[in-house]
Structure 1
Amino acid sequence: MGIFDGTRPGATITREEAGIVVNRLRKNFLALIATTNGNVSDLDDRLKKIEAEG
């Protein structure tokens, strides 16, 4: 997408692009945790529950 690969040096990042990056990082982080502790969907459900409470 050109966000962090150097094709747009000095360009600002939009809210939508930041959202895409954060969601990808979140998904990758959950996948990494799941490889050692369980299932990604279970972790995602727990995270959504925690976010709803906070």
Structure 2
Amino acid sequence: MLNLSAPRALTFLFSLVLVGLAVASLYMRIPTIGPTVVKFRTWLFVGAYVVLALGVVTKSL
């Protein structure tokens, strides 16, 4: 059985930054890392969700 807990603030903020970059690349041009973000936008969304899910499942993340 899984013991779920709230993710740490750093984990939540990291996933929020990943989602923020992906969403921002939809509506605006990001100067330095823009082409990379646009190229891997879907994986940024998936990665943010995975980081957040791991933060809920594990206590140390």
What TM-score, normalized to structure 1?
Answer: 0.44
Greater radius of gyration (CA): 1
What TM-score, normalized to structure 2?
Answer: 0.39
